[in-house]
Amino acid sequence: MGHSACGCPGSAARVIERSETAQVGSSEQAASELRQWPVQLHLVPPTAPWFQDSDILVAADCVAFAMGSFHSDLLKGKAVTIACPKLDDTAPYVEKLASIFRQNTVKSITVAIMEVPCCRGLDAIVRQALALSGKEIPLETAVIGINGERRS
């Protein structure tokens, strides 16, 4: 696999070969599991009501595009916020997430990241925020492959 001009293997251009997938009936549409708006971490208020007594999904921006079953497998029943550890200004993210964890009753946290190295930064940010919050909340990391499969 080649590297991009910036040297990050996660930025390397790739073609993902797929066989034709079965089409859902023309009148059927997959249901959205999104339960709130906004979703971008810069925009969500730490005291938003959807964070109270919730399971939270912190997802890297690319995860929903790579994983066809994102809504049913990761998002269903969770409050969500999204971020990109490579392209966003992440300086305020640790404190913002710590504030969300601190100010709400959070049952669990799932971090969904892509398998590319730059995405690991989001997992580190969430772990730092959890430590800073002073709370003990179960945390799981889901790593999604470029082809959309769950790796862990």
Query: DSSP letters along 25-83, please?
Result: -TT--PPP---SS--BTTTS-TT-GGGTTEEEEEEETTHHHH-TTHIIIIITT-EEEEE
**What are the tens digits of pLDDT across the range 70-90?**
999 999 999 999 999 999 999
Q: What is the mean pLDDT of residues 42-49?
A: 96
CB-based contact 74:63 (threshold 8 Å):
yes
For residue 85 the two structure tokens come to: 């550890």
In a domain, 89, yes or no: yes
Q: How far is residue 72 from each of residues 27, 32, 106, measured CA to CA in Å?
A: 19, 8, 21
How large is the average pLDDT for residues 14-23? Answer: 58
What is the tally of structural domains in the chain?
1
Q: What is the mean pLDDT of residues 27-52?
A: 92
The closest alpha carbon to 34, from 81, 94, 102, belongs to: 81
CATH of the domain at 109: 3.40.1360
Tell me whether residue 25 is in a domain.
no
pTM for the structure as a whole: 0.86
Domain holding 86, by residue range, is 36-144
Q: Is 134's pLDDT higher than 60? A: yes
| SS3 of residue 112 by DSSP | strand
pLDDT of residue 4 exceeding 50, the answer is no
Determine the pLDDT at residue 118.
92
How far apart (Å, rounded) are the C-alpha atoms in residues 125 and 94? 6
149 in any annotated domain? no
